[in-house]
Structure 1
Amino acid sequence: MDALVHRDVVVVAASAGGIEALRTLLGNLPADLRASVFVVLHISPRAGSALPGILDRAGPLKSAAAQDGEPLRHGRVYVAPPDLHLLLDGESVRLSGGPRHNGHRPAADPLFLSAAAFAGPRVLAVILSGTLDDGARGCAEVERRGGLVAVQDPEESPFDGMPRAAIAATTRPMVSSVPLIAEWIVRECTGTRAAEEIAVDRKLQHELSAFFSAGPPVPPPGRLSALTCPDCNGPLYEVVSSPDGHYQCMVGHAWSMESMIDGQAEAVERAFWVAILRIEERLRLLTRMLGHAEERGQALVVRRLRQQTDRDREALETLRHLQSRIGREAPAAVTPGDQRR
């Protein structure tokens, strides 16, 4: 049965290069906007609390760090705090220290998925500048549930990974400059529209249970894959409803294929450094044992220890060479004072 729906939930995500886009977007929204606005920016867990103040000064809307359990209010901008996911839970705001998604906390997908689950056609989803593809799956679910998606034009985005991924994941995104996206939000938040009656999406609600429940982990909806989680090394389940590949572990860490490649690169680099450290420690012990054997005149022991030391030095050199080829410089965290990534 159709119902009259007012689009009054706006979810916005950005990463590298996104602070200026967020300021422009909020600067073009009116104080009497009949919607609640939720903002996720990929920031370091150790980032300070400057972002809400920066966004509060950008325009007439009141921006502040979101508080767990506060109700949704029109004309208010809820900003995800560092190291906490920002979520919708019915008509309330939730903060969660739950598992990282696509290597991030806060991340776009948990916010977008929760908005799609609880608000359906009331949702407007916006993707701004950023790398990789966080938010793409959330945009697809928002669209599937009757909401609308807008994406910053990749040609004007300092980093076009997130915009291009969102465009590829959806069928009818509004792709434009940030000021025109602000006009689109105002237009879509005005009046009511006919849409299917809103009901909570139980499948998405189950997928989000890791953020809302402190109970024991439950297997994700999907089939067990032959892959392991880059964060916790647990088995990954493939969510079969996601055509572009989406994986989730028992703990709740979730990955797109692109973000998992990035996460695996970090895991491989960590593994190399652990192996290098252990061989260096082993060489120090072998050198000490070799010195003791030489002092005691143990010729056979000396020969055996020298052979082992030579083998370990050769292995160490090989590992360092491989690490220099496979390793990569980790992207710098995005903070309000530094948009480089």
Structure 2
Amino acid sequence: MARSAVIAIGASAGGVSALRSLAAALPETFAAPILVVLHVGAHRSELPELLSAVGPMPAKHAEDDEAFHPGNIYVAPPDRHMIVAEGRLRLLRTPKENWARPAIDPLFRSVAESYGPNAAGVILTGNLNDGTLGLLEIKRRGGITVVQNPRDAAHPEMPRSAAVHVSLDHCLPLVEIPELLVELTTNRKEADMPITSTQPGAVRHSAENNGWELERPVAVTCPDCGGALKRSVEGSIVKFGCHIGHSYTAEVMASAHFDELERVMRAAVRFLNERAEFCLQMAEHSQSTGFDDVADWHAASQQALDRAYKLRDLVEQDWITPETNGRLASASGGRDPAGLPR
């Protein structure tokens, strides 16, 4: 069996206590890096300090594009997915997965892609089922899959989901997991070092798009109710309709979607402007009360204002609108955009 070159651990509810117990039992000479995702959302996290305080391995919040080394614990920071790409850690503000950012699945998928049989994934206590699909990918690529015994977990749903859907290598009480991890990483050979995968379907890492590429949406949605639209063709006319009963010709649909796009973007400009004002008021409050975070509030206010102006400029740029050039109408009975015979 290949020795594990990296350990990826995911936890949610009850995870702070579980991770502290784990860190306290691991040796300073642990032969692999440990990558940790705890569901903290956008809230401030002191998990690295808590882990460093109880065990010999130093823990820190991961930084974007940093290398990672054995004997260290790297924790996903608030509001960022942490993944592995080309031997380095990447932090992404891509969409939430399973209602979470950071989420466990993105890390597990990337570790499976990069390390194959030399990866180990561990799921600890938590609600719902984040991590199950990622652990399944680790298993599919030959890695080691470990979960905390659900009967031993403060919140058993996450490990139970993994146990149901993944053919596990180990299902253990928390107290036995540190010894297993040491065993998995002991006497690791050079041949067990990271591999790089370029297989199709793997996690894509695009520097230009901050690690995320848009997929084609499952469906186009109704501008009135948000329901999925079904496309149909009557003669040469393209129509869209939802199950509620809203229906549109292609031209009307295009115009309605564009109006909704503009509304949403202008709402975002408003929210950014309001954030700038809120942060400015907090800066003034901090200054009057002697707090030392005045500069941070001012910087946040200026950032929001800068982005509001950029977004406003984007909204007001010229957009390509083929629905207004008459081509669709011309294909529908030789009528002009007003619906009158030519």
Q: Give the TM-score normalised by structure 1.
A: 0.60
What corresponds to 2:37 in structure 1?
A: 40
- 2:67 paired with 1:71: yes
> Counterpart of 1:173 in structure 2: which amino acid?
D
- CA–CA distance in structure 2, aligned partners of residues 215 and 8 of structure 1: 23
Aligned residue number for residue 84 of structure 1? 80
After superposition, where does 1:108-147 map in structure 2 within 5 Å? 108-147=104-143
What is the aligned partner in structure 1 of residue 317 from structure 2?
Answer: none
Per the alignment, do residues 96 and 212 of structure 1 end up closer, same or farther by CA in structure 2, a change over 3 Å counting?
farther
* Of 189-198 and 8-17, the range deviating more from structure 2: 189-198
Give percent identity, aligned residues only: 35
CA displacement at 1:225 relative to structure 2: 5.1
Aligned partner of 1:43: which letter?
Answer: V
Deviation at 1:56, TM superposition (A): 1.0
User: 1:159-174 alignment to 2 at 5 Å?
Assistant: 159-174=155-170
Counterpart for residue 151 of structure 1: 147
Question: Would the alpha carbon gap of residues 211 and 112 (structure 1) be closer, same or farther in structure 2, given more than 3 Å must change?
Answer: farther
Per-residue deviation at 1:188? 0.7
Structure 2 CA distance for partners of 1:217 and 1:86, relative to 1, 3 Å: closer
1:18 alignment counterpart: 15
Residue 26 of structure 1: how far off its partner (Å): 1.1
SS of equivalent to 2:19: helix
Residues 197 and 153 of structure 1: CA distance in aligned 2, closer, same or farther (over 3 Å): closer
Separation in 2, partners of 1:96, 1:33: 27
Structure 1: 5+ residue stretches without partners: 236-341
Question: Counterpart in 2 of 1:27?
Answer: 24
Q: Give per-residue Cα distances to partners, 1:255-290, cap 9 Å, x unaligned.
A: xxxxxxxxxxxxxxxxxxxxxxxxxxxxxxxxxxxx
Cα 1:90–1:210 change in 2 (3 A) is closer
2:149 partner amino acid: D
What residue is the counterpart of 1:181 in the other structure?
177
Contact 1:96 1:211 in 2 (8 A): no
Aligned residue identity for 1:168: V
Q: 1:25 offset after TM fit, Å?
A: 0.9
Secondary structure at 2:200's aligned position in 1? helix
Q: Deviations over 1:85-114 (max 9, x none)?
A: 111112111111111111100000000000
Measure the CA separation in 1 of the matches of 2:142 and 2:15: 26
CA-based RMSD of the aligned residues comes to 2.8
1:192 CA drift (Å): 3.9
| Cα deviation 1:283-335 (Å, max 9, x = unaligned) | xxxxxxxxxxxxxxxxxxxxxxxxxxxxxxxxxxxxxxxxxxxxxxxxxxxxx
- 1:13-47 CA distance string (max 9 Å, x none): 000111111011111111001100001000131x2
Q: Distance in 2 between matches of 1:141 and 1:198?
A: 15
Q: Is the 8 A contact 1:99 1:211 kept in 2?
A: no
Q: Give, in whole Å, the separation in 1 of the partners of 2:25 and 2:211.
A: 43
Give the partner amino acid of 1:113: R
Alignment deviations for residues 170-198 of structure 1 (CA, whole Å, 9 cap, x no partner): 11330111121111100010124788994
- Cα distance in 2 for residues equivalent to 1:186 and 1:25: 11
In 2: Cα distance, 1:234 partner to 1:203 partner: 32
Query: Relative to 1, partners in 2 of residues 1:201 and 1:173: Cα closer, same or farther, differing over 3 Å?
Result: farther
Residues 218 and 121 from structure 1, CA distance in 2 versus in 1: closer, same or farther, beyond 3 angstroms? same
CA distance in 2, matches of 1:126, 1:185: 9
In the TM superposition, 1:177-256 aligns within 5 A as 177-192=173-188, 198-205=195-202, 207-209=203-205, 213-214=209-210, 217-219=213-215
* Distance in 1 (alpha carbons) for counterparts of 2:130 and 2:75: 17
User: What code does the residue aligned with 1:122 have?
Assistant: N
Matched AA of 1:111: L
Distance 1:75 1:215 in 2: 27
Q: How many residues align?
A: 223
Separation of aligned partners in 1, 2:92 and 2:77: 10
Query: Greater relative contact order: 1 or 2 (C-alpha under 8 angstroms, separation 6 or more)?
Result: 1
**Structure 2 CA distance for aligned equivalents of residues 172 and 70 of structure 1:** 31
Distance 1:6 1:72, change over 3 A: farther
Change (3 A) 1:163 1:28: same
Match of 1:52 among 23, 40, 48: 48
- 1:162 and 1:39 map into 2 onto residues whose CA distance is 15
In the superposition, the TM-score normalised over structure 2's length comes to 0.60
